[in-house]
DNA sequence: CGTGACTTTGAGCCATTTCAACACGCGTGG
DNA sequence: CCACGCGTGTTGAAATGGCTCAAAGTCACG
């Protein structure tokens, strides 16, 4: 069960090599430091971007400052609204990141010339919609412990996503390096930072995970985690 | 602010009339009674459907029976996974409904022949993704009273969606006819049925709404509702 | 080392859930 | 026409999971 959205079957890497090169040619690259936001400037300025490297969050906020992270994007993911309306979510780098920006005019023209791209984008977007909807079950109906367990499993799978074709026959204790602070985990799961912290120490005390450092989690008993995930 | 997803700018009604007719020709119509589910049968059987009439829910469930409604679809909305993977959510009629079903083979062929359709579908899907993400803020971060207020405003807007081009200059007390039971409202908002009920009577006691019957809500003070929506 | 940001831990509280009883509306059948 | 039963909704009282507030602990970095 995957929630946070990663490379889908309709990954853009499925594009022709020369198409990809052409696409990159019309974009300009930009580096982001952790905490830095991509602001969608003027109307016909930057509207779409492709993540080259790093991890970014999409977030939604209430007027009084509460935040909900509504998506986490990894390399090869697309962000932005290719067509139509104003952009609706903040986009902020969680790690050092590089993105490739396109302005609307160029991107629209490119899409028109390459129906293949639109098709891939559609497949990708449908996949993300599915992921996002699954995540709603977690937000609306799961307890704190279920949320944490689901989150850890999800993040492990996401970070282990096959980059090449390495298969992983052995899955003993795996250490995952979280690109998130406790506060960000709380904002992903709809919890408070204290609850996240308490759940982590509970899992550690139960021998289900080990916490070598603030940003590392070593899963010792993934069966137990899966049982907790609900 | 709109959450539940309705006709987007990329509404399929933007298709040519003859294209729409051709699309309808390759589908078969099916009627559903309230509570009846659309099951996605064999691999290359029904995979996509277009809502003609009625209201349906998309829902996600935990193994132990908790449910979260992850989307509500109205006439002219599309449901299903046009390409790739297994369908991930249950689809159940909330009212009497009619849908137009397509099997994958036909639909894929049609899409290939009509790039316009894919484009519209992409716009539509991007819009739904935005709506769904906004809904996550509600699920993860809002209190029961904020959820209820948001829900009522959202449902009012959705049910009042312009069918023709009638503008509504006067917006005095409006009665909305909910296509949802209390339990379904709870499953949309990630609450219990009791909490939903209590919030409704609180709003009634405060003079913000009137409740002529179980399925009707008359909004008396929409400003107050908006203030509560967070 | 010292400073500041982040994290953990504790204690009390409160919103929502849980559990349980009751009310309403409506169709069926006596 | 009324009695009955059943699904649905409401109301109450008690329990509780997660939140809030507060303080102490860690770590990275100058």
Whether any strand C atom is under 7 angstroms from the Cβ of B145: the reply reads yes
pLDDT of residue A7: 46
- CATH code of the domain covering residue B101: 2.60.120.10
pLDDT at residue B10 greater than cutoff 50: no
pLDDT at A85 over 90: no
Strand C proximal to B190 Cβ, under 7 A = yes
Number of domains in chain B: 2
- Domain match, B93 and B199 both: no
Domain that holds residue A172: 142-228
In a domain, B2, yes or no: no
The verdict on residue A203 lying in a domain is yes
d(CA A71, CA A31): 20
CA A75, distance to chain mean position in Å, is 9
Q: Which pLDDT does position A166 carry in this prediction? A: 53
Q: Which residue has the higher pLDDT, B119 or A17?
A: B119
Do residues A38 and A129 share a domain?
Answer: yes
Is A131 in the same domain as A26? yes
Q: How high is the pLDDT of residue A3?
A: 58
Q: Average pLDDT, stretch B213-221?
A: 95
Confidence band (pLDDT; 50, 70, 90) for B156?
very high
Give residues with Cβ within 8 angstroms of A176, minimum separation 6.
Answer: A152, A155, A156, A159, A160, A216, A217, A218, A219
Which residues of chain A lie closer than 8 angstroms to B127, CB-CB?
Answer: 84-85
Interface test with A, best of B84, B125, B130, B140 (most A CBs within 10 A): B140
In this structure, are B131 and B180 located in the same domain? no
**Predicted TM-score (pTM) of this structure:** 0.91
Residues B57 and B91 grouped into a single domain: yes
Q: Is residue A7 part of a domain?
A: no
Give how far Cα A217 sits from Cα of A151, A210, B13, Å.
Answer: 12, 6, 50
A212, pLDDT greater than 90: yes
Beta carbons of B219 and B174 less than 8 angstroms apart = yes
Confidence grade of residue A8 (pLDDT, cut at 50, 70, 90)? very low
Q: What is the pLDDT of residues A97-128, one digit of tens each?
A: 999 998 888 888 888 888 788 888 888 899 99
- Do A91 and A55 lie in one domain? The reply is yes
For A143-202, the pLDDT digits (tens) are 999 999 999 999 999 887 655 555 555 556 789 999 999 999 999 999 999 999 999 999
Rounded CA separation B124/B116 (Å): 12
Asked whether residue A100 falls in the same domain as residue A191, the answer is: no
Q: Write out pLDDT tens, residues B25-82.
A: 888 899 999 999 987 765 556 778 999 999 999 999 999 999 999 999 999 888 988 7
Place of tokens 């696409």: A23
CA distance B161 to chain A (A): 18
pLDDT at A106: 87
Tell me: the pLDDT tens digits for B160-170? 765 554 555 55
Give the burial class of B140: count Cβ atoms within 10 A of its Cβ; 0-12 exposed, 13-18 middle, 19 or more buried.
buried
In a shared domain, residues B189 and B215 = yes
Q: Are residues B92 and B190 in the same domain?
A: no
User: A208: which 2 tokens?
Assistant: 């289900």
- How close A139 gets to chain B, by Cα (Å)? 5
**Same domain for A20 and A118?**
yes
Residues A52, A75: Cα–Cα separation, whole Å: 5
Assess whether B39 and B70 both reside in one domain. Answer: yes
Burial B187-211 (b: 16+ CB within 10 A, else e): bbbbbeeebbeebbeebeeeebbee
Task: State mean pLDDT over B82-91.
Answer: 78
Q: Is residue B123 within 8 angstroms of chain A, CB to CB?
A: yes
| Contact state of B126 with A10 under an 8 Å Cβ cutoff | no
A130 shares a domain with A147? no
């Amino acid at each position: 069960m995957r929630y946070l959205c990663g490379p889908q079957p309709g990954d853009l890497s499925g594009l022709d090599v020369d198409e990809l090169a052409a696409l990159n040619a019309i974009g300009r690259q930009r580096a982001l430091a952790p905490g830095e936001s991509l602001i969608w400037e003027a109307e016909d300025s930057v509207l779409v971007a492709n993540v080259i490297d790093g991890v970014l969050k999409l977030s939604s906020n209430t007027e009084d400052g509460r935040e909900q992270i509504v998506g986490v994007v990894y390399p090869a993911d697309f962000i932005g609204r290719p067509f139509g309306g104003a952009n609706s979510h903040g986009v902020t780098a969680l790690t050092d990141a590089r993105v490739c920006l396109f302005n609307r005019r160029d991107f629209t023209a490119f899409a028109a010339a390459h129906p293949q791209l639109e098709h891939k984008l559609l497949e990708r977007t449908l996949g993300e919609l599915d992921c996002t909807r699954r995540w709603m079950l977690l937000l609306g109906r799961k307890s704190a412990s279920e949320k944490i367990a689901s989150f850890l499993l999800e993040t492990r799978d996401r970070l282990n996503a096959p980059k090449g074709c390495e298969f992983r026959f052995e899955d003993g204790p795996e250490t995952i390096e979280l690109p998130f602070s406790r506060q960000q985990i709380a904002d992903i799961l709809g919890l408070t930072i204290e609850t996240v912290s308490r759940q982590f120490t509970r899992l550690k005390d139960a021998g289900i995970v080990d916490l070598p450092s603030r940003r590392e989690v070593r899963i010792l008993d993934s069966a137990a985690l899966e049982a907790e995930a609900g």
